[in-house]
Amino acid sequence: MNVTVPSLTLVRRIRAPPARVFAAWTEAEMLAQWFGPHHTSVESAEIDPRVDGRFRIRLREDNGERHEIGGRYLAMEPEREIAFTWAWASTPERESRVTVRFRPLEDGTEITLTHDRFADSDTATRHRRGWTESMERLLAMFD
């Protein structure tokens, strides 16, 4: 029996060199400018961008609701790839995985984000919205 585990993949092109786009994912100050869906802001971001390093991001919605995400870096190849585990503080047992690949283009960088190992398709759908809006904010940061 072959069970398909829900996942999502987003591809975006950004008009910035891979080094700057990579920094937006690995430097807390930059990440705080774009991370999270619309109507949220980063309250704090702790990032240790190395294999086995950990991260923790606290988000606050415009309505005051707070959320926390954390994980551990599985891969860290400057300007090429980042992979990390992903778990909400409210459901730490539901760990998934995010892989972000950076490909240099003549006029910038192509990012391929894959988030997989979701518990169910509803969770994948909610994360697709969150990542889509986060990527819109990331693109706007470099416009």
Going along the chain from its start, the domains and CATH numbers come out as 8-141 (3.30.530.20)
pLDDT of 3 above 80: no
Pairing status of strand 108-116 against strand 8-14? antiparallel
pTM (whole model) above 0.85: yes
Measured distance CA(92)–CA(78) in Å, rounded: 28
- pLDDT tens readout for residues 36-82: 999 999 999 999 999 999 999 999 999 999 999 999 999 999 999 99
Nearest CA to 53 out of 70, 29, 34 is that of 70
Whole-angstrom CA distances from 94 to 10, 71, 87, 90, 91 are 21, 11, 6, 9, 6
Whole-angstrom CA distances from 43 to 3, 19, 47 are 38, 25, 13
Region of 108 please: left (phi>0), alpha (psi -120 to 50) or beta.
left
pLDDT at 5: 81
